[in-house]
Structure 1
Amino acid sequence: MEVRKLANSNVSVLEPKQQKTSTKPSRSNFERKVHKRRLVALGVLFAIVLLTLGSQIISAHMTYTSTAQKIEVNQKKLNKQKATQSDLKVEINQLQNKNYLEKYIREKYMYSKPGELIYNLPDNVNAIQK
């Protein structure tokens, strides 16, 4: 505050001090530039962190989906092998039966007992008509 005396008077008036216009705006511009640089730096840093974490998430998701697909394929193969194994176990049990074994050998390998005649007939009735 400045004290100023009025002309031809004993009274003084208090007036606010006048500020220099050249220092304050330049300081304000400097502060704006600094804040702008800081915001840009923080934005770039945030973008880098976001891209890094995003790529990690995408990579993990791709690994998960490929693993899930492999598990599904292997599960189907396992089920198929289990079905084949159960069929083979049934066939082993049937091959223990002498009558079934004789029938199987006769059909598959065309074996016959001595003096026996074997005739091959078509299984499908429609094959005869054609």
Structure 2
Amino acid sequence: MRRTTEQSNIRPLNAAGKHHIAIEAQQAKYARYIHLRRRFLLGVFMIIVAVVAMVNFHKQYVKYTTTSAGLTETSKTLSTAKASHSDLKQEVKDLGDNSYLEKLVREKYMYTKNGETVFNIPNWQLTN
């Protein structure tokens, strides 16, 4: 089967040859159409895959940032709790000491020793 184009010098000798050339041209046109349609569908599929991948990436990024922010907040809370724990641990140790207990009772409940005088001095704050 020989392919011919419109600009060819070859002319069919009879009607059957002309019909055969027309069928070949129609088949070639259909093949081009099929290839174009396949390329178009492949392009659409690739765009859909890219969009889905971008949406999933964005969702994962949002999860990462919120988790990261939560982690920093939790680590701050942990450091505060550790500092508070060490202060409370020291206070528990000090509660076994009688001099600390006397000091605590004097400050908190305004008790005094025998013969001791308490002066209340207001806290003056200097303002400019």
* TM-score, scaled relative to structure 1: 0.71
Stretches of structure 1 that go unaligned for 5 or more consecutive residues are 1-15
Alignment CA distance shift 1:67-1:29 (3 Å): same
State the alpha-carbon separation in 1 of the partners of residues 68 and 88 from structure 2.
30
Which residue of the partner structure matches residue 36 of structure 1? Answer: 36
Which residue of the partner structure matches residue 48 of structure 1? Answer: 48
Equivalent residues in 2 for 1:1-130 (5 A)?
18=11, 20=18, 22-114=22-114, 116-122=116-122, 127=124
Q: Which structure has the greater CA radius of gyration?
A: 1
- Higher strand fraction (1 or 2): 1
Tell me the matched-pair count.
Answer: 112
State the alpha-carbon separation in 2 of the partners of residues 54 and 47 from structure 1.
10
Question: 1:27-74: CA deviations, max 9, x gaps?
Answer: 322121111111111111112222222222221221111111111111
* TM-score, scaled relative to structure 2: 0.72
Q: State the 1:75 CA deviation.
A: 0.8
State the alpha-carbon separation in 2 of the partners of residues 35 and 121 from structure 1.
96
Q: State the 1:114 CA deviation.
A: 4.6
Which residue of the partner structure matches residue 4 of structure 2? Answer: none
Q: State the 1:129 CA deviation.
A: 8.4
Identity across matched positions, percent:
35
Alignment CA distance shift 1:116-1:38 (3 Å): same
Runs of 4+ residues deviating >6 angstroms: none
Q: Given residue 45 of structure 1, which amino acid in structure 2 is its aligned partner?
A: F
SS at match of 2:120: coil
State the alpha-carbon separation in 1 of the partners of residues 125 and 64 from structure 2.
57
SS at match of 1:37: helix
Q: Given residue 43 of structure 1, which amino acid in structure 2 is its aligned partner?
A: G
State the alpha-carbon separation in 2 of the partners of residues 37 and 52 from structure 1.
23
SS at match of 1:74: helix
State the alpha-carbon separation in 2 of the partners of residues 92 and 107 from structure 1.
17
